[in-house]
Amino acid sequence: MLEIQRLAAHSVNRVLTGRNLNQALQEVWRTHPALAAGERAAIQNVAYGTLRQLGLLRGILDQLLEHPLVDEQLRCLLLIALYQLQFSQAAPYAVVDHAVETARALGHGRAGGLVNAVLRNFLRRREALIAVAQSTASGRYSYPQWWIDRLRAQQPVDWQAILDAGNQHPPLTLRVNRRAIARDDYLARLTRERIAARAVGAAGVMLETPLPVDRIPGFADGQVSVQDAGAQLAAPLLDVRDGMRVLDACAAPGGKTAHILECADVDVLAVDSDAQRLARVADNLARLGLAARTLCADAGALAEWWDGAPFDRILLDAPCSASGVVRRHPDIKWLRRARDVAGFAERQACMLDALWQALGRDGKLLYATCSVFAEENQSVVSAFLSRQPDAQPLAAPGLLLPDANHDGFYYALLHKP
């Protein structure tokens, strides 16, 4: 537990100083290659859980400290330990004792007494401390106040459910590759291997208990991919048919690219500005036995890459706040700032205007985000329609609120007659 607490605290501290959690954890894996798979999983689980419940944990810790802690690493260690005491199955005495030792290992020998006193005080006063912490909105929901205020204004009926959904563990949903196996046949295989699952959507399978990808039957053979049920709506909405020329803008890591190719024999160009993430598109397609052209470029900068030949279908999975997928990426809640949403909306509008030029007549463009904020969704599309008189909206789901079956997404399907 010493290493788990130390490295989880380090990862959370990196997030709170501006790094995303995935980068922080990858850094830990690189610098500690001897960590066993179980240790990696424990570090990841504690770091994720602490960030999911950070508002509550901060509210508790602030009551327990007589003076603010200057050392952020020590503060993160206390947050980690509080998370373990409240939300894990670890023995309380072990959490406290190891936190004291971890503080000493971090070079805070004299802080051992403080760590011991804070954590044991929490155990004695747990209910009262939690009640006070939850008396504030940030403590109750574990989101920044600006995020709570924005959702409350935009979703007056569902804002609480949206916030609560973002603090749950996400489901593990698979997309069955119809070119490799029928969904019913795959479900039968899971039944034979005593893995509980159910069908979801047109091609999805949700596992009752999440598994590592190396233990998912058929994953290595390209029979299935991991993809949220909400994200699986994109390819069917795009309505691709054999022989079409298709652009997947902002394609990485390639889940939607692959799904498009599973649906029809089409010529796909997958564009993304991040070379490392674009490499994952090629890797995912190779595993599935599919092929597409890939290009590292800014999809919105047409002059830099477009050959002038129009596309029949365009998927714009636009860069966004990712506010609809925070249960998978809880660091987003604490890395985003209120002003960031307007910046994303401006970028989305520019990309939409640019890519509309590359869409052929009678073509369809699907605008998608994994955001629940109106500024990035309805507002962007409404403004675009006012600027483009030749754009016609078609039936699409609009805003999908996060729930037990899928994350939060937004879809708008636009037709160029």
- The rounded distance, in Å, linking the Cα atoms of 388 and 213 is 44
Q: Which of 76, 263, 320, 370 is catalytic?
A: 370
Q: Is 370 a catalytic residue?
A: yes
Name the residue among 370, 371, 271, 252 with its Cα closest to residue 311. Answer: 271
Enter the DSSP assignment of 142. -
Name the residue among 123, 370, 361, 127 with its Cα closest to residue 233. Answer: 370
Whether 40 contacts 47, CB under 8 Å: no
- The rounded distance, in Å, linking the Cα atoms of 64 and 117 is 9
> How buried is residue 157: exposed, middle or buried, by Cβ count under 10 Å (0-12/13-18/19+)?
exposed
Whether 321 contacts 372, CB under 8 Å: no
Task: Report the DSSP pairing between strands 204-207 and 197-200.
Answer: antiparallel
Beta strands across the sheet bearing 224-226: 197-200, 204-207, 172-176, 224-226
* Catalytic residue IDs: 370
